[in-house]
Amino acid sequence: MQKILSIFLLGFVLFACKDPYEGTTYVAYDELPVASYLNSRSEDFSLWVELLHYTGLYSTFNLYTDYTAFVPNNAAMEKFMKEQGYNSVTDIDKEYATFLVKYHTLHNKVLKQEEFSSGVMNWPTAIDEYLSISFGEGGLTAIYINNTSKIVELNIEVTNGVVHVLDEVLIPVVETIWDRIDSDRFSIMKDAVTATGYDALLNKVQDTALDLSSGNEIIRRYYFTLFAVPDSIYSIDGIRSLDDLKSKIGVEQSDYTNADNLLNQYVAYHIVSQRQSYDVLATFQDGVDSKNINTLANKELINISKSDNGIWINYDETVETGTRFIPFRNDITCKNGVLHEVDTWMPVATPPTTVIDWDLSNYADLAAICDYFQSPNGRGGSGTYEKVVPEDEVAAYYWEAIPLTKPDVITYVNNRNNDGAYYDCKFFDHLEISTGAGGWVEIKTPVIVKGTYKMTLYYVSYLSVNSAGEMQCYMDNDTKLGSSFFVSNATATRYSNKVLVSSITFDETDEHTLRIVGIDGKKLELDYIKFEPIN
């Protein structure tokens, strides 16, 4: 009940048409909260302050909470109003004006310059959209939001957060990935996407489904990544039409919507489920300079690697060539993900074996039903977010629990950031599995390149055996991975790991099935499995 009340109050404060705190001023010590601070600099922010009053959000921005406010200065507002044909702030539709203010705001997060990194931010705005950060020539003196608005004043600390001043108004992103490529610059890729039927997918933002276990409606939000090839890049290889592309690939059959069709494979190869910003793609573990990521093409992977001269896609060391991200045309934010323009036509390639960190919760259909997913701040703050996974809602999960009607077999946990046991969890989350004694859960692995690997499980280990259970793992039903063991220890609650098997060989590049058997049925707090190639 307290959780529901908190959500209701937050919604009331941020989304009410009338300011619930009108006429109330909040001043802490000798400093000022966001709105009062902006009002104190009327020569710079009078138009934005007027917008706050007009939308009924002025006093809301003086609340004792945490905000990151990206605030356009008066020059930016004047330019925006002139371009949009507004003579005054009150000419702006009030609903759109409110949307605009919230789009410039992160709530429950103070994001200072020292946390900035290139790519899509990990924290959503107050309307659940994501901004991106990029750096131009000059580094910290040339920081841009959404590749358009330059930050001209950084880290203005106020009593309830931080203000960053912009030289351009951020126009809310309404274009989907499909909208972005539906242009003359991408006519060939657009035709290929349409022919293969992926246009509907790249235009999808959200849908609803029924949670059969609770009877409640679930809103599913979708994100994708597209590696987009402009026409100018295709022309370098003599590709000037869809027919030229089909000829280049060697397409013979005309059923382009068939997943085995070569054109379909090519298009699907350029699409990744979930949002993968440049910063995420360009981040590697210590000592590792290559990784493979799954695409929508069946059993096909993209390799991302780094060398002395930058980040590459499908880099071939023998000829020292590969695909690069086009500067300032990567991390193009879309309503349903992100688009990266690339500098080759990027054919399907065979990837090398690499270290794989298989996050047991990193699935698009799980992310689609979670309010908080892989957030470094849990529920936007220090609280833990938990989501019981409804049966049949995540395609990668299948289970038989004891009893069969057990409701909480898998729970997604976005960890609280102030719990030491969870500091090392990959992507700030893990799965809590509770099968009942003798029950089991099966999880589909990502595509693994054929080869021999060492497998290590990483998990949260509780002190008391009463809090953590015994488990046994199998691969592809019949390959037993070591002996059973307790996911607990005798010293302290901590983050731990266990080598499941020192050597396992996969004869084909494919996805596989891991079966986790709950020997005693107690809880298993599992994070990820590392596959390390054995040469």
Kindly report the three-state secondary structure assignment for every residue of 13-73: HHHCCCCCCCCCCCCCCCCCCHHHHHHHCHHHHHHHHHHHHHHCCCHHHHCCCCEEEEEEC
Residue 144: count of CB within 10 angstroms of its CB: 18
- Contact assessment for residue 203 and residue 178, using Cβ atoms and an 8 Å cutoff: yes
265-293 confidence digits (pLDDT tens): 999 999 999 889 888 899 888 888 999 99
Q: Which CATH architecture has domain 177-341?
A: Roll (2.30)
Q: 180 burial class (0-12, 13-18, 19+ CB within 10 angstroms)?
A: buried
Q: Select the more confidently predicted residue: 375 or 75.
A: 75
If you average pLDDT over every residue of the chain, what do you get?
A: 87
User: Taking the domains of the chain in order of start, what are their residue ranges?
Assistant: 2-166, 177-341, 356-533
Residue 212: count of CB within 10 angstroms of its CB: 11
- Three-state DSSP class for 98? helix
Q: Taking the complete model, does pTM exceed 0.85, yes or no?
A: no
Looking up tokens 């370098």 gives: 236
- Structure tokens of 73? 């200065």
290-310 confidence digits (pLDDT tens): 999 999 999 999 999 998 888
**CA triplet 280, 284, 287: central angle to 5 degrees?**
175
109-138 confidence digits (pLDDT tens): 899 998 888 778 878 899 888 888 888 776
Please determine, for residue 461, whether its predicted confidence score (pLDDT) is greater than 70: yes
Please determine, for residue 2, whether its predicted confidence score (pLDDT) is greater than 50: no
203-259 confidence digits (pLDDT tens): 999 888 776 666 677 788 899 999 999 999 999 999 999 999 999 999 998 999 999
Mean pLDDT of 104-112: 92
- Structure tokens of 268? 């699907």
Say yes or no: do domains 2-166 and 177-341 share a fold: yes
List the CATH code of the domain at 356-533.
2.60.120.260
- Structure tokens of 94? 């009030």
The per-residue pLDDT for 494 is 80
Q: Identity (one letter) of the amino acid at 417?
A: N
Weakest-pLDDT range from 29-43, 395-409, 413-427:
413-427
Residue 490 binned pLDDT confidence (cut-offs 50, 70, 90): low
Please determine, for residue 423, whether its predicted confidence score (pLDDT) is greater than 90: no
Residue 337 binned pLDDT confidence (cut-offs 50, 70, 90): very high
Residues 206 and 220: their CA atoms lie apart, in Å, by 5
Record: fold of 2-166: FAS1 domain (2.30.180)
Percent of the chain residues past pLDDT 90, beyond the cut: 64
Q: Select the more confidently predicted residue: 55 or 415.
A: 55
